[in-house]
Structure 1
Amino acid sequence: MMRAAVLTRPGRLEIERRPIPKPGAGEALLKVARVGICGTDLHIFHGNYVADSLPMVPGHEFTGTIAALGPGVTGLEVGRKAVVDMNIGCGQCYWCRRNEILNCPDMQQMGITMDGAFADYMVVPARLVIPAPDHVPFDVLALTEPLACVVRAARKARVTFGQSVVVIGAGPIGNLHVQLLRTIGAAPIIVTDLSADRVHMALECGADIGVSDPAQLKQTVLDATDGRGADIVIESVGNPALYATALRLMRKGGHLAAFGLTGAEDTLALPILDTILHETSVKGSVAGMGQDMHDALTLLVHGRIHTAPFTRASYPLEDIQHAFDSITDRPGDLKTQITLSEEQTP
C-alpha cells in the first residue's frame, strides 16, 4: 500500500491508502521523491481550474527513482533517478509531431486532468521518463518541469543576447524567467512586482533593474531603453490589467510573451492598427514539453540556475494541507516542495 494526497473538494486534501500500482506495457513505475507546488496546483486547490476532475491526486512538478518497468520497456534502468514530462499526447497527430502537445485532441496532463504525483508511487508512460544524473539532488530535479515552461517561453519569444526584456511578476516563475534570460544574454532585464522582497530576490538572481512601484514602471522602462520601450515583455502573473500594461511597455516592433494564466473569459483589447503598423506580436506559452524538458534538465545539471531560493521550504506529505494553506503567507519561499522520500533507490 502507498500514501496518496487526494483533493477531495476545493480546499481539502486528504491522505488515503491505496494499492501500489503496477506498470503495464510501455509504462514505468516511479517512486516519487519530491514534488513542487505550482501556481496551477493552487488554482486547482481553490476550485478555479479543472474542478470537474475532483477527486484527484494533484502534483506535476516531480522527480523520483524508477522502481519498476512494464513489459517491452527498454532504455531505462530500475533504481535510476528520473524526471517525467507531464504532458501526454497521442504521439501521432499533427500537433504531437510538432511538439505542440497541448493542442493534441487526446492530450492529458498528470496532476491536472488525471492523478498526479502527490503519492508515494505513480505509473507513467515510459517514453516520457527522462533519466537524471544521480549526483543531482531531488530538490533540484523537481525544478525541471517549471524551468522547462520558461525554456519554452523563451524559445517561442526567440529571445537573444542584447535584447531588453521586462518580466512582470517576480514570483517563482518570474524569477526563473529572469535567470534564463540572464543565461541567454538578454540586457537589460527589468523585473517588476508589488512585493519589494521578491523584486530584491530577482535582482540577486540576475535582474538588472527592479521596480515595485507601478507608477514608476513605464518611465523606468523608457529610461533603460533609450525611450523605445522593451523588445520583449513577459507577463507572468495572469492579470488582464497587467497584460494591458505589457502592451504599453513594448517598443514598436516588440513582442508580448503571454505566459500568466487568466480566467477563461478574460480578454485583451489589442490595438489592431498599431499592431499592423508597428509590426508587434503576441505569442502564448505555458507548459514545457519534449525537448524543453531535456534542455531544462541540462541547465540544472550544469548549474546554470541558482536553485537555493526554490528549495528552502519543504513539507512531508502528511503536512500537505498546511503547506497549501500557508503558501500565500510565505512570499519569501519562491517554491514549496513536498517530500515523499529522500531514498536514492526504491
Structure 2
Amino acid sequence: MKSVVIKKPGELVIEERALPEPGLGEVRVKIRYASICGSDVHIWHGHNPFARYPRVIGHEFFGVIDKTGESVATARLGERVAVDPVVSCGHCYPCSVGRPNVCSELQVIGVHRDGGFSEYACVPAGNAYQLPETIPDKLASLIEPFTIAANITAFVKPTPQDVALIYGAGPMGLTALQVLKGVYGVKRIIVADRIDERLLMATDSGADVVLNNSQVALAEQLQGEKPTLIIDAACHPSILPEAIALASPAARIGLLGFSADACTITQQSMTSKEISLFTSRLNSKRFPAVIDWMTHGKIAPEKLVTHYFPLAEVEQAMTLFEKDPHTCCKVILSME
C-alpha cells in the first residue's frame, strides 16, 4: 500500500508499505478520502511538539472496514466509517470524568501513531463510527474538524441571544461559525479576519457581519458593541488581551487552538467583568453529535471544500493549503 510518510522534519515521501493487520480490538479501514489540517503541515515542518518520526500523517479520514481483528464482530465488515483520532487509556483521571481528549496517555492517530494519509490504516474499533448513507463519501472526512467546533461550543454553551465574535475565518473558524449558526441558532455572529476572500467564505457560512481587521482595529469597527461570546480560532498571542477588552461583562471566551508564545493578560481585566475562559483540545467523543448534525443538514461541510487532489499529489496539496489562504480552505485527498 502507499502511505504518506514524514521521515523527519522537512522530508515527505510516498512510501510503499506492507498491508497492516488489525490487532486485538482493531479494524482495518480501506481509506477513501482524507482531508488536510494545519497540524499535518506543522508535522511536515517539524513544528508540532507532539509528533514522533517517522510518521504517516493524517487524522481526518474516512473509509470502509475491510478486515476485523480479534474480539471485533465480522458483522462490521463493509461499514462506512469516519475515524476519531483520539486514542485514550480509559482509566486515568481525565478519562474517568469524560475528558479522554486530554488522557494522561493520549495518543492521536496521525501524530503519535500512524494515520490516514494512506491506502489502509488500522484503528481501534471503538474509534470507527459508522455513517448513514446520507453523508457522502467525499465529505465524510470533514466530520473530524467539526468535532473540534463541537468540543469548544459544548464548553461555552451558546444561546440564540448571544452576540458572537469569531477571530479567524480559516477552517476552524468556519466550522465554529456553522455550528453556532446551524446548531445553536446564534442570531448575530461577527467574524474577523485579515483576508477578504476568507471573509466571503464566512458570509457564505452564515456570518452576519464580517470585519477585516488588517488596517482598522476591531474596537473601532465594533463601535461599542460588546460580544457576549468570543471564539479565538486564530490564536495569535495578541488576540486574547484584545478579546478580553472587547468582551461584554459575563462573556465567555473559548480558545480553539494554541500558540507556544506568551501573551500578557491581567487578572483585573478578566475578574472585573467576571469573564469565563475555556480552552479546548481535539474532541471528547463528539463524533455522534456531528454525524447527527450533518445528517440533518444543520452544518454544510461542502462550503469549506475548495480542492481535491489524488494521494500522489499530496505535497502539492499541502503546499497549496499552507501557502494560499486566499483561494484555499479545506483540501481533500482521494485514495481512489
TM-score range, shorter-chain basis?
over 0.9
**What's the offset of the Cα at 1:216?**
4.5
Which of the numbers 277, 280, 290 marks the counterpart of 2:275? Answer: 280
Q: Equivalents in 1 of 2:50, 2:8: separation in Å?
A: 8
Q: Which residue of 1 aligns with 2:35?
A: 36
**Matching of residues 288-299 of structure 1 within 5 Å:** 288-290=283-285, 292-299=286-293
1:254: which partner in 2? 251
1:98 maps to 2:97: yes
**1:305 aligns to 2:336 (yes or no):** no
Where does structure 1 lack aligned partners over 5 or more consecutive residues?
342-346
Q: CA deviation at 1:51?
A: 7.1
Q: Tell me the TM-score normalized by structure 2.
A: 0.94
Contact 2:204/2:303 (8 A) holds in 1: no
The answer to whether the Cα contact below 8 Å between 1:141 and 1:300 also exists between their aligned partners in 2 is no
Partners of 1:43 and 1:191 in 2: CA distance: 25
Offset of residue 75 of structure 1: 8.4
Is 1:235 the equivalent of 2:207?
no
Amino acid at match of 2:247: M
Aligned equivalents of 2:134, 2:78: Cα separation in 1: 13
- The aligned counterpart of 2:334 is 339
Aligned-pair Cα RMSD in Å: 1.7
Q: 1:64-143 alignment to 2 at 5 Å?
A: 64-74=63-73, 77-143=76-142
Three-state SS of the structure 1 residue aligned to 2:55 is coil
Aligned residues: 333
- Determine if contact 1:309/1:333 at 8 Å carries over to the other structure: no
Letter in 2 for 1:167: I
Report deviation, 1:8: 1.4
Give the Å deviation of 1:329. Answer: 2.1
Alignment correspondent of 2:192: 192
Q: Is the 8 A contact 1:238 1:260 kept in 2?
A: yes
- Deviant stretches of 4+, over 4 Å: none
SS at match of 1:28: strand
CA distance in 2, matches of 1:299, 1:123: 27
* 1:15 matched residue in structure 2: 14
Question: Compared with structure 1, are the counterparts of its residues 218 and 322 closer, same or farther at alpha carbon in structure 2 (3 Å cutoff)?
Answer: same
Whichever residue aligns with residue 304 of structure 1, its letter is: K
Given that residues 50 and 112 in structure 1 are in contact (C-alpha distance below 8 angstroms), is that contact kept between their aligned partners in structure 2?
Answer: no
The CA deviation string for residues 5-56 of structure 1, in whole angstroms up to 9 with x for no partner, is 1011223311111111111221101111111101111211221113761111
Matches within 5 A, 1:154-169: 154-169=153-168
Q: Is the Cα–Cα contact under 8 Å of residues 198 and 325 in structure 2 kept in the other structure?
A: no
Distance 2:51 2:129 in 1: 30
Q: Residues 308 and 272 of structure 1: is their aligned pair in 2 closer, same or farther, counting only changes over 3 Å?
A: same
CA contact (8 A) 2:31 2:119 kept: yes
Which residue identity is paired with 1:231?
T
CA distance in 2, matches of 1:239, 1:330: 16
Alignment correspondent of 2:313: 319
**Matched AA of 1:69:** T
In structure 2, the partner of 1:153 is 152
Check 1:12–1:172 CA distance in 2 against 1; reply closer, same or farther (3 A cut).
same
Q: Per-residue CA shift, 1:47-91, capped at 9, x if unaligned?
A: 111376111101001110111111211385211100111101101
Shift of residue 194, structure 1, vs aligned partner: 0.3
Alpha-carbon distance between aligned partners in 2 of 1:221 and 1:181, rounded to the nearest angstrom? 20
Change (3 A) 1:52 1:305: closer
5 Å-filtered alignment, 1:194-233, equals 194-214=194-214, 215-223=216-224, 225=225, 229-233=226-230
Report percent identity of matched pairs.
28
Residue 301 of structure 1: how far off its partner (Å): 1.7
Q: CA deviation at 1:277?
A: 2.8
Q: Is the 8 A contact 2:64 2:78 kept in 1?
A: yes
| Structure 2 CA distance for partners of 1:11 and 1:326, relative to 1, 3 Å | farther
Once structures 1 and 2 are overlaid, which stretch shifts more, 318-327 or 72-81? Answer: 72-81
Alignment gaps of 5+ in structure 2 = none
Aligned partner of residue 189 in structure 1, secondary structure: strand
Q: SS of the residue aligned with 1:64?
A: strand
TM-score (norm. length: structure 1):
0.92
